[in-house]
Structure 1
């Protein structure tokens, strides 16, 4: 694989530091936007997985709004509003050992960004081969995306997903079953008609169902306001839900909210699409659905408290195994040291 490393590249230092017990790396993450979403969520989790590194996050958009800013650990340096040339200058000044380009198009990668080891982490399906060729290492977030991108499954590195703050499950299951959904602001994922059909089916199957929608209202027309809507700052509510219902027709390259729900024992009921499929063993740690009838069958199975508890426990184990920060950290450092 060709890369942008030159004679002064810090790859040797990266290999030594990554293999050491005490880290001393300076790592910079490059994001297209500093907005709530899966890619920025991944960046925040990576920063949390590497607390012993110096970390900086750059974004091309104009400002860090409160919601995305709150996702980051307080000791991470944040920059934004940089174009390609300004980013190159900033990287040469800061001199990171590792530069992680998060879904960055090749035309936004500076021609000269110093001697840091360039890594390309692909989060969505687009022609990323030019970006891969500019970097020393490359990862993709799922098997689904590896196939879409036409690359080896050896490049798969599942995202780290930090566990949401847990406030405990609600206890009144005899009268209420809590379900919820997390969506990004201004997204078409809020308004696909198939989701509403599935929700109607869910309420028919489970009359006790109470649904909450977690997400930002920023950039979302007033007409999109939903019953049960609560702001992004209440994302912790996922830990109180019995299940998360997310059945939109949008294909997620990974779908980190599945893992986020699993990590707190919330049973995911999600579309059999994209990267979500490889996160769930149907009927064991969640449900993959295609039709309103599928949703009803899942909820009928979960009416039994013991069955709900069994699948919830399995979901928690699966989420911890796949999305744990320590597991991702160990694999990431091993790969960049190779």
Structure 2
């Protein structure tokens, strides 16, 4: 069998994502893969309606909305490779007439495919605790993340005296639990020097968080362009008392913008954040210690440069391109 990655004609990559909303879900990963493989033809299918913001983000690339992925529809597109992002079994009527790779981003039942890859080793252990299927251990394919767009305003991170710490999350209630209010009240009381910014916070929680942070807070609505704030924040802080992230794209994007990660020592974060490039925190006292460290401007500059170098090497587009092509050569060889 000819390797998919070595096809003479441009490879036609068909990606399937569940939700047609670029902010959150698998659409952002599919978008980034199209940028990591500029020499391929791309079609992206969404299993829901597609928002105008998503269409604008993908530009001229063909976007389709299907209720189900069928062999007939895939054949009609003449795809060489299909990537199913977290696709449920009942959304695929297969087998499909192209090599099919399931890219699993969270725990759950997923469609059958020729091969499966996971976004983190943590997720592998949750989905296949016995170590994988016969024939070898499951593959981990670290997600690619883009460099966030730079803001129009001049960079002020290195000029200001006090740090700005942000949280950027999908605007759904389960990502913003009420337990965040006492958590931030404790941090804001301990660090009156810090300014706080939140992207995607539900409106019903904003007044309580504003009081918790003594008014030193700015809220931003969720949008694809809001990622530019990662260039101006000194650190991105993520804590959730119950929800563990399988990967955590915001942390990776933040590092690529020099934004220091201060996050829960759980899930995929542990595979992203290395010593000297950010902080993995097991409890509130460790979050406090991390924030205390970045009060020093010199320390912030050192960590910012180290985080950027690490993020580019781990999640850059060229690194993902090389990993994916090596994987495809292995999977599709005779």
Give the TM bin, normalised by the shorter chain. 0.7 to 0.9
In structure 1, what is the equivalent of residue 104 of structure 2? 122
Q: Distance in 1 between matches of 2:119 and 2:12?
A: 23
In structure 1, what is the equivalent of residue 185 of structure 2? 200
Q: Distance in 1 between matches of 2:299 and 2:169?
A: 27
- Kindly indicate whether the alpha-carbon contact (under 8 Å) linking 2:116 and 2:138 is maintained by their aligned counterparts in 1: no
Change (3 A) 1:303 1:13: closer
Matched, 1:177 2:160: no
What secondary structure is seen at the aligned counterpart in 1 of 2:268?
helix
- Kindly indicate whether the alpha-carbon contact (under 8 Å) linking 2:14 and 2:82 is maintained by their aligned counterparts in 1: yes
TM alignment of 1:67-82, pairs within 5 A: 67-72=53-58, 74-80=59-65, 82=66
TM alignment of 1:148-187, pairs within 5 A: 148-150=126-128, 151=132, 154-167=138-151, 168-174=155-161, 176-187=162-173
Matched positions, count:
308
Change (3 A) 1:331 1:77: same
Q: Which runs of 4+ in 1 moved over 6 A?
A: none
- Kindly indicate whether the alpha-carbon contact (under 8 Å) linking 2:19 and 2:46 is maintained by their aligned counterparts in 1: yes
Matched, 1:103 2:86: yes
- Kindly indicate whether the alpha-carbon contact (under 8 Å) linking 2:167 and 2:238 is maintained by their aligned counterparts in 1: yes
In structure 2, what is the equivalent of residue 189 of structure 1? 175
TM alignment of 1:208-287, pairs within 5 A: 208-215=193-200, 222-225=203-206, 227=210, 228-231=218-221, 232=223, 233-249=225-241, 250-282=243-275, 284-287=276-279
Q: Distance in 1 between matches of 2:307 and 2:190?
A: 22
What secondary structure is seen at the aligned counterpart in 1 of 2:2?
helix
What secondary structure is seen at the aligned counterpart in 1 of 2:94?
coil
Q: CA deviation at 1:332?
A: 0.5
Q: Distance in 2 between matches of 1:270 and 1:137?
A: 31
Scaled by the length of structure 1, what TM-score is found? Answer: 0.85
In structure 2, what is the equivalent of residue 65 of structure 1? 51
Q: CA deviation at 1:68?
A: 3.1
119, 122, 125: which one aligns with 1:141:
119
What secondary structure is seen at the aligned counterpart in 1 of 2:103?
strand
306, 317, 329: which one aligns with 1:325:
317
- Kindly indicate whether the alpha-carbon contact (under 8 Å) linking 1:137 and 1:336 is maintained by their aligned counterparts in 2: no
- Kindly indicate whether the alpha-carbon contact (under 8 Å) linking 1:169 and 1:241 is maintained by their aligned counterparts in 2: no
Unaligned runs of 5+ in 2: 211-217
RMSD, aligned α-carbons: 2.1
Q: Distance in 2 between matches of 1:161 and 1:76?
A: 18
What secondary structure is seen at the aligned counterpart in 1 of 2:63?
strand
- Kindly indicate whether the alpha-carbon contact (under 8 Å) linking 1:161 and 1:256 is maintained by their aligned counterparts in 2: yes
Unaligned runs of 5+ in 1: 1-10
Q: CA deviation at 1:38?
A: 4.3
Q: Distance in 2 between matches of 1:162 and 1:252?
A: 19
Q: CA deviation at 1:24?
A: 0.5
